[in-house]
Amino acid sequence: MAATTTTPQASHTRVNSQLALRLLQYTLLIVFALICLVPLFWVLSSSLKNTREIAMNAFGPPVVFRWENYVEAWTVGRFSRYFNNSVIVTVPIVLASVFFSALAGYGLARFPLPGGKVVFYLFLLGLMVPFQSIMIPLFYLLRDVGFLGTYWAMIVPSVALGLPFGIFFMRAFFLRQPQELAEAAEIDGAGEWNVFWNIMLPLALPGLATLAVFQFMGAWNSFLLPLIYMQKEELRPLILGLMFFRSRYTQNIPLTMAGAVIAMLPIVLMYITFQRKFIQGMTAGAVKG
């Protein structure tokens, strides 16, 4: 209708302004994409040069790919050790925090609890106060129970710190699920644990996966916590190892960059694979509240 009444000239300007908008959109999108990617490209390219090449040609891609930087970082820089440490602490942190969160979230969502409100607000407090509020006494507590100097010094507090968000996330997830299935199973005589383990938990798998990805990221990138509680060199996780490596070898930019690539590679690969889960988990607090 509109097309028949507009003159050819007017429709031309319409098309032109559409085109101009598209052009503007893509220009901006690409500029911001470059802002995000170019620094990462520099890290990658610097990690494959030697110090002299960086001094002469800081920007360009490496002329010779010096993979030996990675070998050196992995062996001499002890990044293999740090990498193992990260895996050793991250796996139990993710498993335990997701499992305990699912249990408690289910408990809060499905059962009429006397004093349930108090428990709820207690966990809500944990969502609002910063880690700093417990950081100092936790050091002495971990020392007194004998965790300091072991992997437990990172695993146990990380699980505890991950609980408030995990419980809220899982509680909301279980509240959204249809209750009929659980009720039917209960009438058939299934125990509470059976209902949870065989029916409700498998249904919650998408939520569990999102939470697991979120907790993995938190544990892998965790920095202040191991900085305080994992002071032994041989216990350092990757991120902390990277920081100390950098301050020890300030002049050795290629090795530091190789270390940075080693530290971010697992998380970037995970992110590219589970992109939707990452974004869901990270923005869960902001989008749904």
Q: Any contact of residue 111 with other proteins (CB under 8 A)?
A: yes
Q: Any contact of residue 173 with other proteins (CB under 8 A)?
A: no
Residues between 61 and 100 that touch other proteins (CB under 8 A) = 100
Binding-residue pattern over the window 18 to 57 for other proteins, x denoting contact by CB under 8 A: ---xx-xxx-xx--xx-xxx-xx-xx--x-------xx--
Among 161, 208, 219, 258, binds other proteins (CB under 8 A): 161
Q: Any contact of residue 196 with other proteins (CB under 8 A)?
A: yes
Among 62, 77, 164, 254, binds other proteins (CB under 8 A): 164
CB of 32 to other proteins, least distance (A): 7
Residues between 238 and 267 that touch other proteins (CB under 8 A) = 239-240, 242-243, 246, 253, 256-257, 260, 263-264, 267
Task: Assess contact for 119 and 269: CB atoms under 8 A.
Answer: no
Residues 207, 210, 213, 216, CA torsion sign: negative
Q: Taking phi first (over 0 means left), then psi (-120 to 50 degrees means alpha), and beta for anything else, what does residue 165 get?
A: alpha
Among 89, 104, 235, 258, binds other proteins (CB under 8 A): 104
Residue 115 half-sphere exposure toward CB, CA atoms < 13 A:
2
Query: How does 200-239 read in b/e, with b if 16+ C-beta sit within 10 Å?
Result: bbeebeebbebbbbbbbbbbbebeebbebbbeeeebbbbb
CB of 215 to other proteins, least distance (A): 13
What are 48's two structure tokens?
Answer: 């494959």
C-alpha closest to that of 167 among 203, 217, 211, 202: 211
Residues between 128 and 147 that touch other proteins (CB under 8 A) = 128-130, 132-138, 140-141
